[in-house]
Amino acid sequence: MRRKCTRYEGLMERYLTGEILPDERDDLEKHLSLCPDCSRVYRDISGVECALRTFPGKMVDPPPYLKTRILASIEGERKSLWAFLTRTVTAFAAILAIFLIMAVYGYLTRPSSPPSPPVAGEKAETGTKEVKIFFYFPDARTVSITGDFTNWDPKGLPMKKTGKKGLWEIDLKVKPGVYSYNFIIDGRLLVPDPQAPEQTPDGFGGMNSILLVPKGDVS
């Protein structure tokens, strides 16, 4: 069979089944009369077709339940596919819901800002009172004050010299309350305030001075 004859193969099948168009039929018949290869192929195909038609077998009707079974099986497959999709979607929705709930909870309970170290001399908040503290220590080169109001910052708040020799002072802004404090002499030594009205053991073997800031008038 030549290469150009390939298009006649499809025509042959349709010719045998009677589905060919008149123009195509004329064209095919003309070609079969001229082309020995295609003519041989056509004979082979039509021979098989003829043999099948004349096969001495008995026609068997399908059992009546076959169609029902096939349809039920198809329906079952459809249903199981639908169920699988439903389960999957539900599971994803549930997981998504969990993440959403946790995300909302986390957002609502988030900390306001990352912690930062306390700063000595931080600007006083509202509702504070001014307290002036003096300390006499003539031999000191530097004097600082530390205590509950500085969160016991080891450096403390530096005190400044007054006009009088050996006398140091500082203005504090603190909220009303009770504060323990000490002075830091030359960056190392912690000593209590001898002028403080109250002193109490610090539990570590030393003493703390007590600063009382009542809610009434400024001390």
Partner 1 sequence: MRRKVARILLITIPLLALFLLPPGSFATVDISPLCEKHGIKGEDLTRLKGLYGEVVESGVSEEELYRFFDDIISYGLDCRQLSRVLEKTLRLKKEGLPYRPVFRKVREGMAKGVPPGKVVDVTLTWGKLLEEAAGVVRALEEKGFSVSDREGAVILVAGYLSRGYLPDEIVERVVTRGVKYAGFSGLEAFLGQGGQR
Task: Write out the residues near partner 1 by the rule CB under 8 A.
Answer: 83, 87, 90-91, 94, 97-98, 101-102, 105-106, 109-113, 115-118, 146, 148, 151-154, 176-178, 180, 190, 197-198, 200-204, 206, 208, 210, 212, 214-216
DSSP run (H or E) holding 24: helix 22-34
Shortest distance, CB of residue 99 to partner 1, whole angstroms?
9
Minimum Å gap between C-beta 55 and partner 1 is: 52
Could you tell me if 179 and 149 are in contact, meaning their C-beta atoms sit under 8 angstroms apart?
yes
The Cα–Cα gap between 143 and 39 comes to 122
Residue whose CB is less far from partner 1, 70 or 91: 91
Which residue's CB is nearer to partner 1, number 12 or number 174? 174
Single out the residue of 162, 161, 144 nearest to residue 153, CA to CA: 144
- Judged by beta carbon, residue 49 or residue 122, the one nearer partner 1 is 122
Token pair of 153, please? Answer: 């910052």
CB of 120 to partner 1, least distance (A): 11
Please check whether residue 144 is in contact with residue 158, taking contact to mean a CB–CB distance below 8 angstroms. yes
Q: How far is the CB of 129 from partner 1 (least distance, A)?
A: 12
CB 136 within 8 A of CB 166: yes
